[in-house]
Structure 1
Amino acid sequence: MPTLNLYGQQLGREITDWVKKSPPEKVTLHGHYCIVCPLSVDHAEDLYHEWQSIDDDRDWTYLSDSKPTTKEQCYQYLRELSADKEKLYFSVKDKETGSVHGFFCINKIDLHNGSFAISEINWAPPMKRTRLSTESLFLIINYFMETLKYRRCEWRTNCLNTPAISSAERIGFKQEGVLREKKVTKGHSEDIALFSITAIDWMETAEVLKAWLRKENFDERGRQIKKISDFRTQ
């Protein structure tokens, strides 16, 4: 709720106990179905085979990087990502099989204002549109919001990347606008759609996702019984 200063000017909601936030650590987070852990070069073995399970590059169209074409390139690619000092990369393991099915990045970490961004989401085919993908993002956002007490999570994606936009909206991100002509990727201009979840949003969104992720909401083949949207309307 806006407040007024001594000049009668409107200010944002007052926060009296704000302190600089702690930097995130390379934590391992356990869910019902997946484990989120720091990206390791060892994960190249699983990811290489999964990336090669389809014989084209359509899953890399909206990513800045290109798909490694050999196992050696895959190892080198993960070696470079895991050594990055500015970004944190996390892998997603299937808790049942122990196989790595994808990774994502945490960047734009702002300790003074308590914000961070999820980016470079790279799901291998077996992970797409599964409870593992949703749970992995739930685990990392909850770590920042509940454990570290951050107040804002961003998700940026190409405006033409309709699957990513649908995923962001499905989880509970709200679109804030479009950053026009923001990037040049692989020789093409990109307009970037900006989404966010705030700490206030997360209080309700987390409960919705927890309800959807309950084991009883899935049949024996792992198919959802109720959609996330069903829990929002209750």
Structure 2
Amino acid sequence: MVFQNEYGQSLGKPAEGWVTRSLPEKVTLKGNYCIVCPLSVDHAEDLYHDWLSIDDERDWTYLSDSKPGSKELCYQYLGHLCSDKNRLYFSVKDASDGSVKGLFCVNEVEPDNGIFALSEINWSPVMKRTRLSTESLFLVISYFMDTLQYRRCEWRTNCLNAPAISAAERIGFRKEGILRDRKITKGYSEDVAVFSITASDWPEVSAVLKAWLRKENFDERGRQIQKIADFRS
């Protein structure tokens, strides 16, 4: 539906009752399988071993940073991330043993518009394609959408990053388009794909993810019984 002002100009739908939202806090979010908590320098102890389990940098190709080459550099790297005043970095712990399996960032937070973005998603090899990865993102999106009442979550990635695009679409993000020549990363120009979940999308996306994440949907080895797509209408 198109709305018009007193001059006959077309406008978007009214944002009735809208007020500036609160800034996010460094919260700890607990799920069935993982715990999302503020990134700490001492998380380098776990992450270093997982990152070094692969002896090349293929998992870092589309990230802004390069893999630390030693434990000391890993501690320095996490210290640098923790000191960033413009971004919130979170770690993902395995709820079964408390070990840190990955990290990600929340940035581009706009309380006036109710917008936030996920970025720099960096899962260790053992966390990829597991319920921990899905639940961790569900928890943080739910924190913003349900607790803080934000209205838009963005996910931007290199348009050639097929695994990230597949993950975004699997969770329920909708592709909006391509920002051509948007970034230069490690000497290469990037076309950036933009995905989003809005407040109007979230109730359905949330219901699907909650259904998929039920303990009954996984066998004794943690393998899914039904896919996320099976829960979509």
Common topology (TM > 0.5): yes
Which stretch of the first structure deviates more once superposed, 13-22 or 100-109?
A: 13-22
Instruction: For residue 2 of structure 1, report the CA deviation from its aligned partner.
Output: 2.4
* Partner SS, residue 21 of structure 1: coil
- How big is the shift at 1:15? 1.5
- Displacement after TM superposition at 1:7 (Å): 2.2
Matches within 5 A, 1:11-50: 11-50=11-50
TM-fit CA distance, 1:152: 0.3
Cα distance in 2 between the residues matched to 1:35 and 1:2: 43
Report the residue type matching 1:5 in the other structure: N
Structure 2: gaps of 5 or more residues: none
Letter in 2 for 1:209: L
Match of 2:4 in 1: 4
**1:141-194 deviation line (CA, Å, top 9, x unaligned):** 000000000000000000100000000000000011100001111111100000
User: Aligned with 1:209: secondary structure?
Assistant: helix
Equivalent position amino acid for 1:104 in 2: F
Look up the match of 1:166: 166
Deviation per residue, 1:187-230 (Å, 9 max, x gap)? 11100000000011001100000000000000010000000000
1:79 aligns with 2:85: no
Q: CA RMSD in A?
A: 0.7
> Hey, what's the Cα distance between the residues in 2 that align with 1:162 and 1:117?
19
Q: Aligned residue for 2:60? A: 60
Q: CA deviation at 1:8?
A: 2.4
Q: What percent of counterpart residues are identical?
A: 72
State the match for 1:191 in structure 2: 191
For 1:99, the equivalent position in structure 2 comes to 99
May I ask how many residue pairs the two structures share in their alignment?
A: 233
Q: Distance in 1 between matches of 2:95 and 2:2?
A: 45
AA of the residue aligned to 1:211: A
| 1:92-146 deviation per Cα after TM superposition (whole angstroms, max 9, x unaligned) | 0000011000000000011110000000000000000000000000000000000
SS in 1 for 2:91: strand
Partners of 1:184 and 1:191 in 2: how far apart?
9
- Distance in structure 2 (CA, Å) of the matches to 1:160 and 1:86: 27
The runs of at least 4 consecutive aligned structure 1 residues that moved more than 3 Å come to none
The gaps in structure 1 that reach 5 residues or longer are: none
2:152 is the alignment partner of 1:146: no
Query: What is the alpha-carbon distance in structure 2 between the residues aligned to residue 68 and residue 16 of structure 1?
Result: 48
